[in-house]
Amino acid sequence: MRVITWVFRLFIFFALFAFALNNQQDAAVRWFFGYEWRAPMVFIVLAAFGLGCAFGVSAMVPAWWKHRRVATRKSVPAQAAAAQTPLGTTSAMPEHPPRDGL
Could you say which residues of the chain have pLDDT below 50?
none
Domain-located, residue 63: yes
Domain-located, residue 35: yes
pLDDT value for 51: 94
pLDDT value for 88: 54
pLDDT value for 79: 61
Domain-located, residue 66: yes
pLDDT value for 6: 92
Whether residue 4 contacts residue 20, with contact meaning beta carbons closer than 8 Å, is answered with no
pLDDT value for 17: 87
In the chain, the number of structural domains is 1
Q: Which amino acid is located at 71 in the chain? A: A
Whether residue 44 contacts residue 27, with contact meaning beta carbons closer than 8 Å, is answered with yes
Dihedrals phi, psi of 15, to nearest 5 degrees:
-65, -45
Domain-located, residue 59: yes
pLDDT value for 82: 63
Bridge-partner residues for 32, per DSSP? none
Domain-located, residue 5: no
Is the pTM of the predicted complex or chain greater than 0.75? no
Domain that holds residue 56: 17-72
pLDDT value for 70: 86
